[in-house]
Amino acid sequence: MIEALLKGYDLEKLAVAAIASHTALQILRAAKRYGFRTIAVARPSAAWFYKRFPFVDEVWEVDFSNFRPVAERLAEENAVLIPHGSYVEYVGWRQALEAPVPTFGVRRLIEVEADQFKKMDLLRRAGIPIPKSYKPEEVDGPVIVKLFGAKGGRGYFFAKNREELLEKLKDVEEPHIIQEYIFGVPAYYHFFASPMYGRVELFGMDVRYETNVDGRTFGLVEPTFVVVANFPLVLRESLLPTVQKYGEAFADAVREMLGEEMKGPYSLESIIKDDLSIVVFEFSGRIVAGTNVYMGVGSPYSVLYFDRPMDMGERIAHELKLARDKGRLEDVVS
């Protein structure tokens, strides 16, 4: 479907589109700098904000509950859609999977991500260390319980031990996963898989600022992890080879599991323990909001690849431009 759509594209008029939220400013600002026409697809309530910025050529106000006509219109406008977390949140993973518009990266990862078991299975296949998963009766220490479809840490809860877990599970009917709780510090790595350069780049990293774990709660409320902001991060250099190894292993596992080359931005989300081992509890198969910390200034790691600072929006635009110029757009979209 997508290859046929691309055949009809006027490459001189290639546009970059993003849903107006999440990382849209970063993506569209960079796309404009690289000479693409830019489209922000907005909820009516957010449209006015995106109209404030001169690098956004068009702001469309749309109804996300019926996304197909929007996708068709994007394709008519020669657009490549850059997917991000809010896109999947607004349109749902089924619509995102079927939308008839070329979508940057590996679209089928959206489906894998929607299922906690498939998601952990992909990481396991990559040989990346992950938290143990338990049946309730196997639990012997602290656990975190994640309801499917939980967002930004909402819909998670903890139990100190098996007794507390069984008590708390009485009220839970939704599908969920019970995971070993890992002690340490969180670190989120940003990667870019480049078909044009044939490599996986470790592009940046961040940590999150989350309500009731980082807030002034004085032990008065249960911990919650609702993300409100992000901070930049650099890691001890001695840890970088391990992070790079896991990033590459992830790309290999995508090839093995989906039969498709990994392409575009993605993230591994980890806890680093006090023995300095890294346990990955989550991935995002598309750009993560933590990349915004480098908007316009570039991440310290980006200079290692291009000898100049670049943010992830620019990295995407750079790849897209190369792919277009080489007649290889189908290698970077799906």
Residues near ligand AMP (CB under 6 A) are 131, 144, 152-153, 179-182, 186, 208, 225, 269, 271, 281-282
Tell me whether residue 53 or residue 209 sits nearer to ligand AMP (CB atom): 209
State which residue, 149 or 309, has the beta carbon closest to ligand AMP.
Answer: 149
Instruction: Supply 126's token pair.
Output: 């990559």
CA angle 80, 85, 89 (to 5 degrees): 105
Tell me which amino acid residue 291 is: T
Q: Is 121 or 331 the residue whose CB approaches ligand AMP more closely?
A: 121
Give 225 or 305: the residue with its C-beta nearer to ligand AMP. 225
CB of 270 to ligand AMP, least distance (A): 9
244, 266 in Cβ contact below 8 A?
A: no
Say how far apart CA 32 and CA 16 lie, in whole Å. 8
- Pick 103 or 179: Cβ nearer ligand AMP: 179
Nearest residue to 26 via CA among 287, 306, 324: 287
Q: For the chain, give the number of residues.
A: 334
To the nearest 5 percent, what fractions of the chain are helix, strand and coil? 35, 25, 40
User: Starting from the edge strand earliest in sequence, which strands make up the sheet with 37-42, in order?
Assistant: 58-61, 37-42, 15-19, 79-81
Cα separation, 41 vs 44, whole angstroms: 9
Smallest distance, Å, CB 277 to ligand AMP? 13
CB of 172 to ligand AMP, least distance (A): 17
